[in-house]
Structure 1
Amino acid sequence: MATAEDSIPVYAIALRGAEPVILKGRLQGPEKSTKDFIVGVKQGETLTVSMKASKANSTYFNILPPHDATALFVGEMQGANEWRQRLDVSGNYTIRIYINRAAARKGVKSDYTLKISAS
């Protein structure tokens, strides 16, 4: 049986240290309202993520640690699209960008620019 997370597109991103990786794209509800970006980060590094979106009041990101579905950061709850934290665990972190459910159901389109770095 497929789950909702099985249909989320996943992209592996190679970080270049302090030099940010900048990704641009579009989310569109309801079918293409979420994307996952996987980044490998070492213990002690600081992961910095920021996002600008054309529909900033409905487009957010979450940060999920390796092997754990409990988010370190939930953009919609924090009311922010910027996050920076020194990490205690090495591994692959997931940056999940999304249009919130209510906007996705309405078919909202949101162009985004996602900036990711680790140092």
Structure 2
Amino acid sequence: MKPVQTLALSIAFAFAATSAVAADKVTTVPVKFAKGASSATMKGSFAGYDSVHYTLDARAGQTMTVTLAGSSNANFNVFAPGDAPGAATALGSNADRGWTGKLPKTGTYTVQVYQMRASARRGEKVPYTITLSIR
């Protein structure tokens, strides 16, 4: 392959990779419970490789419950304070559309709502309802 063709091909691949990453939208939603409440329910939707990150503060030893309804393409992962989607192992995920677990640390937890690659690749729209509870 000629150097000019190699350079053009390299630029095309770099642009394609950058375009794919730039299109992924991450929306962060801070969760605050109403006074006296220990849970909150939110509705939302996203499409493709986009995701929604719900953040909420909790103390070590408390129990978090996450339930997810809506599209069967909606999935979630729960991350401990200091851990991030794609960079750490999730504490829990949506086995049977819900998860309950005792929290190991005090701080801000992240609940990532997303869809698997096969449906994301098709750009499917994902409506969902999520309930987050801390006790």
TM more than 0.5: yes
2:52 to 23, 35, 39: 35
Q: Higher Cα Rg: structure 1 or 2?
A: 2
TM-score by structure 1 length?
0.81
Whether the 8 Å contact between 2:29 and 2:53 is mirrored in structure 1 is: yes
2:40 to 21, 24, 48: 21
Question: What's the % identity of the aligned pairs?
Answer: 30
Whether contact under 8 Å (1:27, 1:109) holds in the other structure is yes
Q: Which amino acid aligns with 2:56?
A: V
Paired residue total? 109
Deviation at 1:88, TM superposition (A): 2.1
Decide which structure has greater strand share.
1
Structure 2: which 5+ residue stretches go unaligned?
Answer: 1-17
Do residues 45 (structure 1) and 70 (structure 2) align?
Answer: no
Q: Tell me how far apart the structure 2 counterparts of residues 18 and 47 of structure 1 sit (CA, whole Å).
A: 14
Q: Select between 11-20 and 96-105 the one with higher mean Cα deviation.
A: 11-20
2:110 is matched with which residue: 94, 103, 107?
A: 94
Higher share of residues assigned helix: 2
> RMSD of the TM alignment (CA)?
2.0
Q: TM-score, normalised by structure 2?
A: 0.72
Matched, 1:71 2:90: yes
- The unaligned stretches of length 5 or more in structure 1 are none
The Cα shift of 1:15 comes to 3.2
**1:102 deviation in Å?**
1.0
Q: Deviations over 1:27-62 (max 9, x none)?
A: 2114xx311011101111111110002x21x21000
Name the structure, 1 or 2, with higher relative contact order (CA <8 Å, separation 6+): 1
In the alignment, which residue of structure 1 is the partner of 2:4? Answer: none
Shift of 1:18: 5.5
* Aligned residues of 2:81 and 2:108 also touching (Cα < 8 A): yes
